[in-house]
Amino acid sequence: MSSLIVALLAIAVAGFAAGVYRRLALWRQGRAVDLPLSLLLQVPKRYLVDLHHIVARDRYIANTHVAAAGGVVGSFVLLVLVYVLGFKNAFTYGVLWGLLVLGLLGAFFVFKRRQSPPDRLSRGHWAMVPYSLFAFGLGFLGLTIAEANASQGTLALVATVLAIVGVREIAGGALLSRPLKHLLSGSVHLAFHPRQARFDQVGALSTDLRPMDPEAEQYGVGKVSDFEWNRLLSFDACVECGKCQEACPAYAAGQPLNPKKLIQDLVAGMEGRSDQAYAGAGHPGMPVGTHQPGSDGALFPSLLEEQTLYACTTCRACVQACPMMIEHVDAIVDMRRFVALEQGGVPSNAQAVLQTLRNTDTVGGYDLAERANWSVDLQLPIAQPGQHVEVLFWSGESAYELRNQKTLRLVAQLLKKAGVNAAVIGEQELDTGDVARRLGDELLFQNLAERNINYLNTLSFDRILTIDPHVLQALGQEYRAFGADFEVLHHTQLLDQLVHSGDLDLSRALQRGTVTYHDPCYLGRYNGETEAPRRLLDALNLQVAEMERSGMNSRCCGWGGGAAFSDVPGEHRVPDLRMQEIHAVQAKTVAVACPNCMTMLEGVVQDQTEVVDIVELVAEAAGV
Amino acid sequence: MSIRRVNRFTQERGFVTAEGIKRVARARDVTGLDQAPAAAAKAKPVRHSENAERNLLVVLHCKAGELSTLDREAIYVARALSEMGSQAQVHTLVFGAPNPNLDWAEFGVDQLHVLADERFEHYVPEAKVQALVHLHGQLEPERVVFVESELGDSDLARRFAIAQGLSFGGDLYEVTDHSVRRLSGNGRYQASGPLPQVLAVQSGTTGDLDLEFVTAPNTVAVQGVDAPVAPEESLFSLPSGDIPLVEADFVISAGNGVANMDTFHRLAQLLDATVAGSRVVVDDGKLPRERQVGATGQIVKASVYLAIGISGAVQHLQGIKDCNTVIAVNSDESCDMIKRADVSVIADAEEWMQAMISALEGTP
Amino acid sequence: MNLTVLISLGRHPKSGRLMLSPNDARALAVARRLSDSPRLVHVGEASQQQTLRQYLGLGFAAIDLIEAVPGQDICGVLIEDLRRNPCDLLLTGERAQGQDDTGLVPYILADRLQRPLLDRVLSIDAQGQATQFLPKGQRRVMALPAQCIATVSENAPLELEYVARRARQGVINVLPGNTGDCAQVYHGWQQEPKQPGRTRLSIQSTASGWDRFAKRMNTTGGGGQVLKGSPDQGAAQVLSLLRDKKLVP
């Protein structure tokens, strides 16, 4: 009996080792990355602290997983301890059985969850997992009890069969590409994660895209082997939980993008097979089982379609939700770089925007000389090289837009009231290039970035102020890779500081009814700022109702990632869905903090809710 | 201190008509103010031109026997140039048979040369140049005036000028007694120069086309011209459903007030008009994106724009500012589209469309 | 088919930046349906290569850049080159967008090279049938004359997908200029930044100031008729208006 158990353990170990070998071979199709092996030592801390922080959002499954995974892994360790190393005593047997029972308890809750599973979970192999876990637990329980009582017979036979089923699932997951491969890929992924900065502290944000070498032999990712190996590893860590699918605005709108399916498509590409085996929800409008990688692992057009890629708004709701810390947006942008710069296939309206940006340095084809026109009567000087200003006011594309000029002007008037020394940039202010970068035209972005940075370096200022979170991200984060080191503030942050320090007095009362705040993706998820706008709303004594999807879980308005230009058709429109959520909290007013959210939400046909920028409320209260 | 005038954004300006109705001005000049004194109608003197020492020639194409406003502007240019200096005769060469009711005396033409051979209706530019060269040789005009059009005038003007080695000025938007002006550098520059021997004018070079005199024109059929060999060609019309909005001449457009798109499409079919819609209708998926009219959609330059159930948001009005006649149907009398339209019907969109359909189907 | 396309550089209407000319891109769109490797010819300076790469980015492998100095007559240079490199079909855009923009170059070439010219082309199919643009949704289809020059209409479809890799990989052959001349009649245009407004030509009036004022005031422009009443009445009135305009039989 003992030897049977040892034999099973040996099979498990061998199977696992084979699995490691196989998975490594799959991951290493990707390009080399400069990361030290010693990172593997970080896995325990990262698992127990950083990952736990994310997984603990869903208490039920977090506890279930502790029981199931802890029980199973613990049992293995104890089995080795008892039967291979020979530490046989009442204590070790007790711990062993305790762990096996714990594993069974976990398995039971997994089973319970699978009785009426949420739509986001995959069926197929994943539906079998609780049974395999039962098999493992019962099998080894039976075997070890039989061994301890030195009995044989049918119980032992049945237990053996069950144990084999269990071992196949758990130890064989990596080899057979079954769900429990995540035991291996998930932990290795924690070590070699593409964004190491996410582990600097718990909940750390790392959102800036990595620049591309303009002299590279190939731009972006067009086939599986173009990905870096740790990206392929990250796709392999996917447990098909579907939290990304649930969070994705494009999926909700019925556009042909499902982030979970996208990752699984890339896994299929990595494994060189079609998506036939996929047992979850597909990309809306695209039947499952019709896509496979092209020759040499080519992604387009047979495995992934351009419309899937360009439906994404880069809102990072998927990344925020993912318990395996997979970076969906990075993968999409890498692939967009290939489409935009190597292959062609960018949606035509988005192409037109890139052309306009290339020829005029503005998104809408405006005259740079008119950049400061919005402020011409507000006594805001144009920044001159050598003359120091406290705040450099970045106008952005809003300088040319009727509705958003209002936001700019109110901010300028409030700055004047608070006595802040500010200046605008004028015709040397080019577009930040954020739209170009998100659409995949990295060369255009780098061109604009370099020219902007060169000019900004001739000016003398403490901080840059912007009303646009996309500019906040570009100037504050993305430009760093090109040598920039600017302190950039969003207008809600600056206004919050002014209110707090008493420089701005919000004395007038507002009659506004219920107000709700729509967190911009690029302010909340990208830059972590969800509190300053709320402090402002607090200071205004408004009746604020929070939507279900707010703060770091805010739902996108649909503009980002060039999606407003790509305009990939779906059953609904993303801003209409957000407006429904706004109506659900009976808000008479929705405060936004981004000119693009303003544009998208104002474009929704409805008359129940007024869309205002948060500065309009502040200005009303300040008597401006 | 000089004040720098700066436009933060373009604004449509409005004015109030004699009836006290607020109107929104269009791109073209509009005058419409209060209480005008009545002008007495006078008989115009006849201007004879037998003692003319010089000639001017205008070259036009008649489309279905009619002349466009631009054609008349070209004649006016020639007439104006003829008024400067010694007495001159204004000749007009017309390709295609003109409608007998066209009042050439009112237009100011002294002699009308008609080339009505229907073989010239085909694409035979070389033959037209030959006929023109022949006439040019006979008349030796000081200047030849063409219009810029996509019907063949622009093409003919250039062929002719180069064939004869004459100085040419095309796409002219300003003609004065001594100079002409056109755009260059993709609209950022202007090129001005002395009056060329051959002119091709765009619309808007002249003011009011009313002359203070009439002429005494006589008509001659052009002789001595070889009839061209008509090439193999076929003319076809794109079905009105396929005509791109930028080209369409008769557009029917649906807005939020159209509840039943089936009625709308039926009416469009009966009228054989090109279908379009406002942004709301396109966003709701009732019409494809190429059919959207407005600042973020297509700019329409139709002769007739039939707007059904459209409230007239600023961006939509920007899309139709070059339309000749706007007919609006809306139940809301105060909406901006009614203020913009030339003819408005205050009625429920569905009822009105049904009435139109039964009127159209009822006629034999 | 031996195909040559003439390309020029334009300027953006707002920023004035040198860029490819959309009209020439329309000509290229027609060309690529007829030939896999049309010959692209540009007359200009070697310093314009960076901008010319925008054409290569559309998916073309090479451009022949014939050097010329500013002020030199490009027609003469082109005629020399075209005589040396004959082609079955020469395609151009309708007019330049950022230079003199008169649209005369194809006509001068047609005259001096004694080639027929077909204007306002929208598309040419593989059988040599050309579709010509006419306003109001009309089209004319005819056979392409042999050895002709075809100008592609501004209404032809525009295909402007620029892919950076193609722009980088394409080749620009800088060819030496020539001293070709084509005896063109020049006019003496003076170029300067556009001034707003224009003077409308009008014959000096002999009427009195009062009469002129009266005349202007009487023409109430933009007169809007508002019809209230039953939908049937409204329908009848609109129908009669449409019949007057001959839009409805």
Q: What is the pLDDT of residues A292-309, one digit of tens each?
A: 999 999 999 999 999 999
CA of A341 to nearest chain C CA: how many angstroms apart? 5
Mean pLDDT value of segment B303-327:
86
User: What does the pLDDT look like over A250-296, one tens digit per residue?
Assistant: 999 999 999 999 999 999 999 999 999 999 999 999 999 999 999 99
pLDDT interval class at B95 (50, 70, 90): very high
β-pairing verdict for A514-517 and C190-193: unpaired
Mean pLDDT value of segment C130-139:
92
B142 pLDDT more than 90 = yes
Question: What is the pLDDT, as a whole number, of residue B81?
Answer: 93
Percentages helix, strand, coil for chain C, rounded to the nearest 5? 30, 25, 45
Tell me which chain A residues have a C-beta less than 8 angstroms from the C-beta of C162.
Answer: 351, 354-355, 358
C-beta separation of A327 from A317 below 8 A: no
Question: What is the pLDDT, as a whole number, of residue B41?
Answer: 54
Taking the C-alpha atoms of residue A622 and residue B321, their distance in angstroms, rounded to an integer, is 41
Subunits next to C (3 or more Cβ pairs <8 Å) are A, B
Question: What is the pLDDT, as a whole number, of residue B224?
Answer: 67
Nearest by CB to residue C11, choosing from B154, B155, B188, is: B188
User: What does the pLDDT look like over C89-109, one tens digit per residue?
Assistant: 999 999 999 999 999 999 999
Structure tokens at A91: 């204590």
pLDDT interval class at A533 (50, 70, 90): very high
What residue spans define the domains of chain C?
3-175
Question: What is the pLDDT, as a whole number, of residue B226?
Answer: 77
Q: In angstroms, what CA-CA distances link A362 with A246, A393, A560?
A: 35, 17, 16
Is the minimum CB–CB distance between A115 and chain C shorter than 8 Å?
Answer: no
Strand order in the sheet with A610-613: A543-544, A514-517, A589-592, A610-613
A354 pLDDT more than 70 = yes
Taking the C-alpha atoms of residue A384 and residue B59, their distance in angstroms, rounded to an integer, is 58
pLDDT interval class at C132 (50, 70, 90): very high
ipTM of this complex prediction, to 2 decimal places = 0.90
B39 pLDDT more than 80 = no
Nearest by CB to residue B36, choosing from C203, C207, C217, is: C217
C-beta separation of C42 from C66 below 8 A: yes
C-beta separation of A307 from A284 below 8 A: no
User: What does the pLDDT look like over C164-221, one tens digit per residue?
Assistant: 999 999 999 999 988 877 777 777 899 999 998 889 998 888 777 777 777 766 655 5
Taking the C-alpha atoms of residue C22 and residue C4, their distance in angstroms, rounded to an integer, is 17
Q: In angstroms, what CA-CA distances link A446 with A338, A359, A436, A486, C12?
A: 16, 15, 9, 17, 21
CB contact under 8 A, B237 and C138: yes
Nearest by CB to residue B345, choosing from C99, C213, C234, is: C234
CB contact under 8 A, C187 and B169: yes
Binding-face residues of C in 161-200 toward B, CB within 8 A: 185-195, 198-200
Buried b (16+ CB within 10 A) or exposed e, A341-380: bbbbbbbeebbbbbbbbbbbbbbebbbbebbbbbbeeeeb
Strand partners, A589: A515, A610
Residue to mutate among A359, A368, A437, with most C CBs inside 10 A, is A359
Question: What is the pLDDT, as a whole number, of residue B36?
Answer: 40
Buried b (16+ CB within 10 A) or exposed e, B306-319: bbbbbbbbeebbbb
Nearest by CB to residue C15, choosing from A219, A352, A368, is: A368
Chain B nearest-CA residue for A376? B6
What residue spans define the domains of chain A?
2-190, 198-345, 361-499, 506-622
B9 pLDDT more than 60 = no
Residue C241, exposed/middle/buried by CB under 10 A (0-12, 13-18, 19+)? middle
Question: What is the pLDDT, as a whole number, of residue A429?
Answer: 97
User: Of all residues in chain C, what percent carry a pLDDT higher than 70?
Assistant: 97
Look up residue C46 and give its DSSP letter: G
Taking the C-alpha atoms of residue B44 and residue A179, their distance in angstroms, rounded to an integer, is 96
Strand partners, A394: A466
Question: What is the pLDDT, as a whole number, of residue B133?
Answer: 94
Question: What is the pLDDT, as a whole number, of residue B86?
Answer: 86
Mean pLDDT value of segment B11-32:
52
Nearest by CB to residue B6, choosing from A376, A405, A567, is: A376
B227 pLDDT more than 70 = yes
A461 pLDDT more than 90 = yes
CATH fourth-level superfamily of B50-221 = HUPs (3.40.50.620)
CB contact under 8 A, C161 and A348: yes
CB contact under 8 A, C222 and B26: yes
Tell me which chain A residues have a C-beta less than 8 angstroms from the C-beta of C19.
Answer: 358-359
In the block, tokens 């990632």 appear at A561
CATH architecture of the domain covering B250-362? 3-Layer(aba) Sandwich (3.40)
Is the minimum CB–CB distance between A217 and chain C shorter than 8 Å?
Answer: no
CA-CA-CA-CA torsion sign (A159, A162, A164, A166): negative
CB contact under 8 A, A351 and C161: yes
B318 pLDDT more than 90 = no
Average pLDDT, chain B: 85
Q: Which of C101, C34, C99 is nearest to C70 (CA)?
A: C99
Look up residue C161 and give its DSSP letter: -
Is the minimum CB–CB distance between A366 and chain C shorter than 8 Å?
Answer: yes
C-beta separation of B338 from B328 below 8 A: yes
C-beta separation of A311 from A336 below 8 A: no
Under DSSP, is residue A193 helix (H, G, I), strand (E, B) or coil?
Answer: coil
Question: What is the pLDDT, as a whole number, of residue B308?
Answer: 93
Tell me which chain A residues have a C-beta less than 8 angstroms from the C-beta of C17.
Answer: 359-360
Mean pLDDT value of segment A562-566:
94
In the block, tokens 């070498």 appear at A213
CB contact under 8 A, B171 and C102: yes
Is the minimum CB–CB distance between B7 and chain A shorter than 8 Å?
Answer: yes
Structure tokens at B258: 């159209």
Q: Which of C212, C150, C142, C169 is nearest to C56 (CA)?
A: C169
Interface B-C: count of C-beta contacts within 8 A: 286
Please calculate the CA angle C246-C248-C249 and round it to the nearest 5 degrees.
Answer: 85
User: What does the pLDDT look like over A399-424, one tens digit per residue?
Assistant: 999 999 999 999 999 999 999 999 99
Taking the C-alpha atoms of residue B122 and residue B120, their distance in angstroms, rounded to an integer, is 5
Chain B nearest-CA residue for A377? B6
Is the minimum CB–CB distance between C12 and chain A shorter than 8 Å?
Answer: yes
Taking the C-alpha atoms of residue B83 and residue B68, their distance in angstroms, rounded to an integer, is 23
CA of B73 to nearest chain A CA: how many angstroms apart? 34
CB contact under 8 A, C163 and A342: yes
pLDDT-wise least confident of A112-116, A161-165, B222-226? B222-226
Topology of the domain comprising A506-622: Rossmann fold (3.40.50)
Taking the C-alpha atoms of residue A228 and residue B181, their distance in angstroms, rounded to an integer, is 61
C75 pLDDT more than 70 = yes
Look up residue B292 and give its DSSP letter: B
What count of other Cβ atoms lies within 10 Å of the Cβ of residue A610?
15
C-beta separation of A96 from A217 below 8 A: no
Is the minimum CB–CB distance between C248 and chain B shorter than 8 Å?
Answer: yes
Specify the CATH class of A198-345 in words. mainly alpha
Residue to mutate among A310, A355, A443, with most C CBs inside 10 A, is A355
CB contact under 8 A, B304 and C245: yes
Task: Give the HSE-up count for residue A576: Cα atoms under 13 Å, Cβ half-sphere.
Answer: 12
CB contact under 8 A, C223 and B348: no
β-pairing verdict for C39-44 and C149-152: unpaired
User: Of all residues in chain A, what percent carry a pLDDT higher than 90?
Assistant: 89
Which residues, including other chains, have CB under 8 Å from residue A15's CB and lie 6 or more apart?
Answer: A167, A168, A171, A172, A175
Q: Which of A314, A249, A243 is nearest to A574 (CA)?
A: A249
For A551, phi then psi, to 5°, come to 65, -130
Strand partners, A463: A391
Terminal Cα distance for chain A, rounded? 85
The per-residue DSSP string of A384-412 comes to -TT-EEEEEEE--GGGG-HHHHHHHHHHH
CB contact under 8 A, A343 and C163: yes
User: Of all residues in chain A, what percent carry a pLDDT higher than 70?
Assistant: 100
C-beta separation of C54 from C162 below 8 A: yes
pLDDT interval class at B30 (50, 70, 90): very low
Question: What is the pLDDT, as a whole number, of residue A577?
Answer: 96
Dihedral angle, C-alpha B79, B84, B88, B89, nearest 10 °: 0
CATH hierarchy code of domain A361-499:
3.40.50
Looking at 3.40.50.720, 3.40.50.620, 3.30.750.24, 2.50.20.10, the CATH number of the domain C3-175 comes to 3.40.50.620
Nearest by CB to residue B235, choosing from C119, C138, C189, is: C138
- Which of residues A249 and B233 earns the better pLDDT score? A249
User: What does the pLDDT look like over A89-110, one tens digit per residue?
Assistant: 889 889 999 999 999 999 999 9
Strand partners, B143: B56
Mean pLDDT value of segment A486-514:
93
Question: What is the pLDDT, as a whole number, of residue C182?
Answer: 78
B32 pLDDT more than 50 = no
B11 pLDDT more than 50 = no
CB contact under 8 A, A567 and B283: no
Which residues, including other chains, have CB under 8 Å from residue C136's CB and lie 6 or more apart?
Answer: B243, B247, B248, B249
In the block, tokens 């530019």 appear at B125
Chain B nearest-CA residue for C201? B206
pLDDT-wise least confident of A150-154, A336-340, B109-113, B218-222? A150-154
C65 pLDDT more than 50 = yes
User: What does the pLDDT look like over A190-205, one tens digit per residue?
Assistant: 999 999 999 999 989 9
Binding-face residues of B in 193-222 toward C, CB within 8 A: 193-194, 196, 204-208, 210-212
Average pLDDT, chain A: 94
CA of A399 to nearest chain C CA: how many angstroms apart? 16
Tell me which chain B residues have a C-beta less than 8 angstroms from the C-beta of A405.
Answer: 8-9
User: Of all residues in chain B, what percent carry a pLDDT higher than 70?
Assistant: 88
Taking the C-alpha atoms of residue A382 and residue A368, their distance in angstroms, rounded to an integer, is 14
CB contact under 8 A, B249 and C223: no
